[in-house]
Amino acid sequence: MTPPTTSAEPGTATPAGRLGAHLAGRLVGGDHVEVAQDGTTFVDYDATADVVLALRTLGEQDEAVQRATRFLLQPASVDAYARGVPYEQGAAAYAEPLAKLLLIARFDQAEHADPVGGADGPE
């Protein structure tokens, strides 16, 4: 069983644009990747993070990047991806997911930061 996909913004005619459109089209509901195993569908947080980082690297599909970033940075997503909730019983923290989430959060923070000196520029 293949999880459903969504349509993405049309990419540019470049290889990066076509790849970006393909990757964004893998985002179910426009914000995450799902995998199916034995008839059960799961969110694949790691693949979702990889798609966000790949789209940022390509400079493509800004809307998909923003939607998937918001999805990944929700507290429930962070707990599931980086801490193994609800499967881990103790205080778990996984280095690779935490590193990817930190990169994604920093990119998002930098993207939404005010330019130097605010909207009017430096004084």
| pLDDT at position 49 | 98
What values do phi and psi take at 37, rounded to 5?
A: -145, 125
| C-alpha span between 122 and 96 (Å, rounded) | 38
| pLDDT at position 84 | 93
Mean pLDDT per 10-residue segment, the chain (123 residues):
59 90 96 96 98 97 97 97 90 93 95 64 49
Distance of alpha carbon 89 from the chain centroid: 26
What values do phi and psi take at 36, rounded to 5?
A: -115, 135
Q: What are the structural domain ranges in the chain?
A: 15-111
| pLDDT at position 1 | 46
**CB 25 within 8 Å of CB 3:** no
| pLDDT at position 88 | 85
Tell me, letter by letter, the H, E, C secondary structure of 63-109. Answer: HHHHHHHHHHHCHHHHHHHHHCCCCCCCCCCCHHHHHHHHHHHHHHH
| pLDDT at position 94 | 93
| pLDDT at position 123 | 47
